[in-house]
Amino acid sequence: MSTPEVSTAEVSGAAPAGATPTGAISVASPLPGRLIPLSEVPDPVFAKGLVGGGAAVIPDDDAEVLTAVAPLDGKVIKVMPHAYIVQHASGPAVLVHVGIDTVGLKGEGFSVLAQKGDQVRTGDPMISVDVAFVRSKNLSMCSPVVILDSAPDAIEPPASGGRVEAGGHLFSLPGKIPEK
C-alpha cells in the first residue's frame, strides 16, 4: 500500500449529536487538474477501493508548485508532507494523498501548511508540493481523494478527463457512508 502510515484507527467513526445522516456533503478537489475515477489510479490499493471510495485528480503537465487545499470543512486528523486527512463534524473523513509513492520522498518537495487538530474550511491551504520536482523523480502526481472506510462504490465516480480547479466540487458524500 502506498500509505501504510495512514491509519484509519485515528479517525473517529461516531457522528456527533445533531448530525444529519441524510444531508449530502460536498467534497472539493484539493488540486487543479484532470479528474479520473479511482479505478484508473496507478496504484492497486487505491484503484481497487481498498482504502475507500472516491476519485483522483492529476495536475496539469506544466504545473510547477501547487498548494493542496482542504477538501471539506472539518478537523485535521493527520497531516504528513504527502498526505492529509480531514474529518467532517458529521463523521466522514477524507484522505488526500498527493501523488503516488510520494511517501518515499520523505518530505522532499513538500511543505506542510496545516497542523493536526486544526479546524479548516474547504479550500484552506494544507500542503504545498513542487510538482516538477516530484515528476523529476519519475513519480506520478495522480492524487486520490478517498472517503476512509467507505465502500469502493460509495460515490458516483466522475467521468474520466473532466477538469476541476482547486476548491471546485469533486464529488458529494452521502449523509451516511456505506461501509466496506
Which residues are tagged catalytic? 97
Contacts of 15-22 spanning 24+ positions with Cβ under 8 A:
15/90, 15/91, 16/89, 16/90, 16/91, 19/89, 19/90, 19/91, 20/90, 20/175, 21/90, 21/175, 21/176, 22/175, 22/176
Q: Provide φ and ψ at 53, rounded to 5°.
A: -80, 160
Q: What is the separation of C-alpha 147 from the centre of its chain, rounded to a whole number of angstroms? A: 8
Residue carrying C-alpha cell 472506510:
149
Tell me the three state secondary structure of residue 118. coil
Is residue 61 within 8 Å of residue 145, measured between CB atoms? no
The alpha carbon torsion through 64, 32, 100, 178 (nearest 10 deg) reads: 170
First to last CA, the chain: 17
